[in-house]
Amino acid sequence: MKPRRKIYMVAGYNTISMGTGRKEFNPKKERAGLEEYLKEAGQGTLQQIGGAKNVDEGVVGNFMAARFNNQGHLGAFMAMIDQGLRYKPSLRVEGACASGGLALVSGIKSVLSESADTVLAIGVEVQNTVKAIYGADILATAGWNKRRKDGHAYFFPGQFSDRAGAYFQKYGREKTRLAMARWYRNAIENARLCTTAQEYANVTDDLDEAGIAEPNPKAFTDFLNYTDCSKVSDGASAIAIVSEEGLKKAGIPLKDAVEVVAVGHATDDITSNPEDPTVMSTIREAVKIALNDAGITVDQLATIETHDCFSIAGLITLESIGLAEPGKGADFILEGNTSRTGKIPINTTGGLIGWGHPTGATGVHQAVTVWEQLTGRAGDAQINIPADKPYALSINMGGDDRTVVAIVYKKTM
């Protein structure tokens, strides 16, 4: 989808991604709930755009509050965030781990339709409310329920362990494992530069050694260890999606916004298995749509925020979108191309493995990170944005490559 009018994103805000790894996290003590995360993120963005009076619509991306928090009807929490949002249209959208990306798509379409000049988009998930094994059962609903009884106890780690095993068999294990460990190292190094990241305080001395630790099938999965996986996270992210008129109403100069130049939204059959587990075919198609509509190639991107729910997902994605040839993703990573100083810095605040994965918030968090990078607001995590590469890409995936939102952004000035 190529927008028929100028659309921008501004005023991003992230709460802390809370969970194991954060010093403040204690599973035995009462912690912030869904309402607190929604309010913090929403107010964080409202304060940057001149308040609720400038918002026409709201949208919440969330996967499974109905089970993690026993709460539905999240669109009606907007007025709780700010009384100035009372009686304004708002809704909740869901697409598993791509719920945040779908919130962005919903807001973009509202601005495109001219029903709104400013949409407040929030992604949220609070999922440290149950033990990990029960949480895995809830998260498994992002896949086909009829396959659940035949799957691994930790369903999605099992699914991506199977992808890793297929990749090892096709392209070799040793170098691939080294690349997966490097992916983890890059994620933690980037997270250490972002104060809201779940792994911000990670003090592991030898990240490569931690990442290369052998999987333990008796305790977890056949081909993944714990460093290959994103953690269970609580958090929220918010951003404003605006037209040119919305920018004017908020009094925000163009240099403080990023332009949305294309969107790729693709889905596939949730009841089917991947035709080739070494390929992310839905990611491939969504990114192809976004890049084609933007009129650019992957080599023109300054940075990518990608959905590395597991390290193998990050590696396979590189190949599926054309950054590396099939079977060469490991080499691409080990050559340093994806590091913050490499050819194409990826997940500059840590991605899902380093920053965290509050499921429904992830797609919005990716947009906030891109906005920060392209407007020079990323603080210690800031990378260089070359003048001849003013573009960035976010890839938000739901389930095992079943729903994907890919967005191309452009630096405005």
Residue-range domains of the chain with CATH = 8-131+232-256 (3.40.47.10), 141-230+261-411 (3.40.47.10)
At residue 146, the pLDDT reads 85
At residue 151, the pLDDT reads 76
Is 412 buried (19+), middle (13-18) or exposed (0-12) by CB count in 10 A? middle
Is the confidence at residue 149, as pLDDT, over 80? Answer: no
Tokens of 370: 């891109």
Does the model's pTM come out above 0.95? Answer: yes
Query: How confident is the model over 58-109, as pLDDT tens digits?
Result: 999 999 999 999 999 999 999 999 999 999 999 999 999 999 999 999 999 9
At residue 228, the pLDDT reads 98
At residue 148, the pLDDT reads 80
Split at pLDDT 50, 70, 90, the class of 233 is very high
- CB neighbourhood size of 213 (10 A): 14
Split at pLDDT 50, 70, 90, the class of 3 is confident
Mean pLDDT of 331-337: 98
Provide, rounded to the nearest whole percent, the portion of the chain with pLDDT above 70: 100
Split at pLDDT 50, 70, 90, the class of 132 is confident
Query: How confident is the model over 270-301, as pLDDT tens digits?
Result: 999 999 999 999 999 999 999 999 999 999 99
At residue 80, the pLDDT reads 98
Higher-scoring residue by pLDDT: 126, 148: 126
Cβ neighbours of residue 12 closer than 8 Å, sequence gap 6 or more? 45, 237, 238, 239, 367, 368, 369, 371, 372
Query: How confident is the model over 151-200, as pLDDT tens digits?
Result: 788 899 999 999 999 999 999 999 999 999 999 999 999 999 999 999 99
User: Closest Cα to residue 42, out of 77, 6, 72, 4?
Assistant: 77
Query: Torsions phi, psi of 186, nearest 5?
Result: -60, -40
Mean pLDDT of 353-379: 98
- The overall average pLDDT reported for the chain is 97
